[in-house]
Structure 1
Amino acid sequence: MLKLEDFNEARKKLEGVITRRGLIHSEVLSEESGNDIYLKPENLQKTRSFKVRGSYNKISKLNEEEKTKGVIASSAGNHAQGVALAATQLGIKSTIVMPRLTPFIKVEATKGYGAEVVLHGEVYDDAYKKAVELQKEHGYTFIHPFNDEDVIAGQGTIALEVLEELPDADIILVPIGGGGLISGIATAAKLINPNIKVIGVEPKGAASATAAMEAGKVVEIAESNTIADGTAVKTIGDINYEYIKKYVDEIIKVSDYELMETFLLMVEKHKLVAENSGLLSVAAAKKIKEKGKKIVSVISGGNIDVLAISSMLNKGLTQRGRIFSFALNLPDKPGQIETIAGILANANANIKKIDHNQFVNLDKFNDLELRVTVETNGEDHINKITEALAESGYKVRRLYNTH
């Protein structure tokens, strides 16, 4: 298995290639969790992801014949850009096979880093098969996103940086997809400090590492359903499984709702934009049972499109009780909406949207349904609004209860 010298060698290769980002102390997360929380922002890395570390280390170790023939990978996400940039910086041709439905911005970004992009198939599996076909035809070297020890060694350089800056860290939280990132970080961290705790974090809807640990072997989960698409992997790597089994202390699962809430918190409190997969470790910070510990959450990436950002902000506002949408029935007679508006004003609730429909409630012919969205200050404020309406005889139905 990998030794500390492998990680130190990878770090030397990455000098001048990656952007070194120091830890960010999070006062808000520290207060919420009862621990001292630090963020390792790989979303600010080149290509906005940690992936360039492993890709560069792997490609730099190819022999001259392999370098001459070039490399190939299949990806619709961060791995594509990591391989493209690494290969270009090393003067090697790269080909990336991406599904036809890959967002245009990701295709252009990958081309911008110097890769030749081949669009093939509808899903990742189709792209992977095409990449294997091209590899055999042209003699390319296939760069796997996680199931490769040279890639693992590159990703593990993050642990060297973390422990150099915070040598007394107690816990490192790491997102898990295929397992490459946590394999590297856990191994390097434990080789430096065997007493440090490394905890993996994966989405509840794609908990393939948890399934493997419970089964005692690599297994394929039945489905992958999560907004954390970068970690939506049905099967972790067999190499990664061995490292996780040996070096990872625990695995925590995070819900999509928790990711939405965390996204808003990062934007609002730290002005950091991270993709859902990258936020797994941040969302898990509040779930640590120990208190008074120094914890580092690795934000693994920040590639998220503008439309997704808008959606995540709205959902995050709802999750944190900053937006309250509710419905209630009113008698169909003049002055009712003005009465509701008055109650809300007295409760310091700012109305964002209001709509009424007399055809919704079929049980009571003379009633209409009023739907209201207000800006609030959290769950306590929502409770006060609900109580104020109840005191005036109005029964509130919360429309988007995410708890």
Structure 2
Amino acid sequence: MVTLSEIQEAQTRIRGVAAHTPLVRLTGPEFTGDVWIKAEGLQPIGSFKLRGAYNKIAQLSEEERRRGVITYSSGNHAQGVAYAARAVGTKAVIVMPSNAPEIKRRATAALGAQIVIVGPASSERKLKAEELSAREGYVVIPPYDDAAIIAGQGTCGLEILEDLPGVDLILAPVSGGGLLSGVAAAVKHTRPEVRVIGVEPALAADAQESFRTGTLVAWPAEKTTRTLADGLRTQSLGERNFEHVRAFVDDIITVTEEEIRAAMRRLLFEARLTPEPSGAVTTAALLFHGTELIPYRKAAAIMSGGNVEAALLKELIAD
């Protein structure tokens, strides 16, 4: 299990590379307490993924850096690895699914990474990355099932505790579980009375099923790829992440596709933030599932990313 000292060391390590993102107030009659949005879309790559990627890559030896790194991602972790690899001067290869948003693919390429395209299943890209690693010697940078990745993502939780005294509820999106497990570990090690809740789309609710049954389950790609939230289409929690979730998370709830769209509009027009669908699920939970979350006085909802396709943004604005 990741320790508080490991998360604190990660916070020191990523300082000056990843941003200490602000909390933005969001108001509305739906809320039973005060609500702030943790705006991770304001990171240099537009998502929280830089935290874990840099924390992992910065600890590689010189020999490992000479070999280069490889990862598998639908987009945000891809950019995090590409950005971190460029910062330390090593080659980055990214295995991406064929249905990855074009904005994320282009941004990853612009950071100098070599991109390899495979099918839509998260299992496909993981297998391809492992195959290339074995053949070429690249160091694998997992998107979530890794202690250094979890510790890096946990720095987001430490920032919330520092910036919002009295916070009693923190919501984080969940896919593979890197962000949720890291934030939950950071929070429970520091202030165990604060509730931490994961949020995911109802169309990709493998994490909720795993959490509530106590058994790690996987959903097929044809089910998880139905959701608009491309960053939350992972087919199962990572094994290490699942152990952290079981130890530190209070609950996992789900939101619908229309609730995600409505939350994106609220963040756009009222908080003046630009969310991607995956980043809006926590706001959707507060807007439409308040009875599942009460009581709370001060809530922080992590908006995990802001890399939204132009066509979807145009559609939301038109609506």
State the TM bucket, normalised to the shorter chain: over 0.9
Deviations 1:288-329 (A, max 9, x none): 332451000000001111101123345xx4xxxxxxxxxxxx
1-structure distance, mates of 2:227, 2:255: 10
Counterpart amino acid of 1:276? P
Number of the residue aligned with 2:299: 295
2-structure distance, mates of 1:102, 1:281: 22
Q: In the alignment, does 2:21 pair up with 1:21?
A: yes
Higher relative contact order (CA 8 A, sep 6+): 2
Number of the residue aligned with 1:246: 247
Give the alignment partner of residue 171 of structure 1, picking from 169, 172, 176: 169
Number of the residue aligned with 1:320: none
Counterpart amino acid of 1:288? G
Contact 2:172 2:198 (8 Å CA) reproduced: yes
User: Which of the pair has more CA radius of gyration?
Assistant: 1
Number of the residue aligned with 1:217: 215
Number of the residue aligned with 1:118: 116
2-structure distance, mates of 1:105, 1:169: 34
The total of aligned residue pairs comes to: 313
Q: In the alignment, does 2:306 pair up with 1:308?
A: no
Contact 2:122 2:234 (8 Å CA) reproduced: no
CA shift, 1:98, in A, is 2.3
Contact 1:98 1:124 (8 Å CA) reproduced: no
CA shift, 1:283, in A, is 0.8
Counterpart amino acid of 1:237? G
1-structure distance, mates of 2:146, 2:296: 36
Task: Using structure 1 for the length normalisation, give the TM-score.
Answer: 0.74
When structure 1 is superposed on structure 2, of 170-179 and 69-78 the one drifting more is 69-78
CA shift, 1:264, in A, is 1.1
1-structure distance, mates of 2:48, 2:202: 22
Partner-residue secondary structure (3-state), 2:284? helix
Q: CA RMSD in A?
A: 1.7
Task: Using structure 2 for the length normalisation, give the TM-score.
Answer: 0.93
Q: In the alignment, does 2:190 pair up with 1:192?
A: yes
Contact 1:72 1:141 (8 Å CA) reproduced: yes
Contact 2:154 2:179 (8 Å CA) reproduced: yes
Number of the residue aligned with 1:283: 284
Change (3 A) 1:103 1:40: closer
CA shift, 1:64, in A, is 2.3
Contact 1:211 1:221 (8 Å CA) reproduced: no
Q: Percent identity?
A: 40
CA shift, 1:100, in A, is 4.6
What stretches of structure 2 of length at least 5 have no aligned partner?
none
1-structure distance, mates of 2:132, 2:280: 34
Contact 1:274 1:301 (8 Å CA) reproduced: yes
Contact 2:122 2:235 (8 Å CA) reproduced: no
Number of the residue aligned with 1:182: 180
What stretches of structure 1 of length at least 5 have no aligned partner?
318-403
